[in-house]
Chain A
Amino acid sequence: MTLLLLFNITNGLIVGAFYVLMALGLSLILNLSNVINFAHGGFLVIGGYIAYAISPYVGFWGALLLAPPLTALIGLAVERVLIRPLYGRDPLYSLLLTFGLAFMIEDGTRFIFGPQGKPVAIPPFLAQPLSNDLFFITGYRLFMVAMVIVAIALLFVLLRYTRLGIRIRAGTLDLETVAALGINVRMLRSLNFAVGIFLAGLSGVLAAGQLGLEPTMGTGLLMPSFIAIIVGGIGSLPGTLAGGLLIGVASGVTAVFFPAASEAVIYMMMAVVLLARPRGLFGEEGMMS
Chain B
Amino acid sequence: MQSRKLIVLVAIWAVLLLAPYWMAPLGGYTALATRVLVLGLAAMSLNFLLGFTGVLSFGHAAWFGLGAYGAGLTLKHLATSTPLALLAGMLLGGLCGAILGTLIVRRRGVYFAMVTIAFGQVFYYIAFQWSSLTGGDDGLRGFARQPIDLGVFRLDILTDATAFYYFVLSCFALAVAAMGFILRSPFGRTMIAIRENERRSRFLGIPIERHIWIAFTLSCFFMGFAGALYALVNNFADPHGLHYSQSGDFVMMAVMGGMRSFWGPLLGAAVFVVLQDYLSSVTVNWMSFVGLLFILVVLFFPRGLLGFFQRSRA
Contacts and interface: CB of A to CB of B under 8 A. Distances in A.
Interface of A: 30, 34-36, 38, 82, 85-86, 89-97, 99-104, 106-108, 111, 223, 226-227, 229-230, 234, 260-261, 263-264, 267-268, 270-271, 274-275, 278, 288-289
Interface of B: 50, 56, 58, 103, 106-111, 113-115, 117-119, 121-122, 125-126, 129, 244-245, 248, 251-252, 255, 285, 287-288, 290-295, 297-299, 302
A36 B114 contact: yes
Contacts of A38: 248
A234 B299 contact: no
B281 to A, nearest CB: 16
Contacts of A274: 103, 115
A76 to B, nearest CB: 17
A288 B109 CA distance: 9
B255 A96 contact: yes
B298 A107 contact: no
B164 to A, nearest CB: 32
Contacts, number: 119
Contacts of A107: 285, 287-288, 291
Closest 4 CB pairs of A and B: A100-B294, A103-B291, A104-B291, A107-B287
B302 A91 contact: no
A93 B294 contact: no
Given A85-B299, A270-B118, A271-B122, A30 B110 contact: yes
B299 A289 contact: no
A103 B293 CA distance: 10
Contacts of B294: 96-97, 99-101, 103
A106 B302 contact: no
Nearest to A275: B103
B115 A260 contact: no
A103 B288 contact: yes
A103 B298 contact: no
Given A100-B295, A103-B287, A267-B122, 14 more contacts: A82-B299, A89-B302, A91-B113, A95-B58, A100-B294, A103-B294, A107-B291, A223-B118, A226-B118, A230-B118, A234-B114, A264-B126, A267-B119, A267-B121
Given A100-B295, A230-B115, A234-B114, A223 B121 contact: yes
A111 B126 CA distance: 32
Given A92-B251, A267-B125, A111 B288 contact: yes
A70 to B, nearest CB: 22
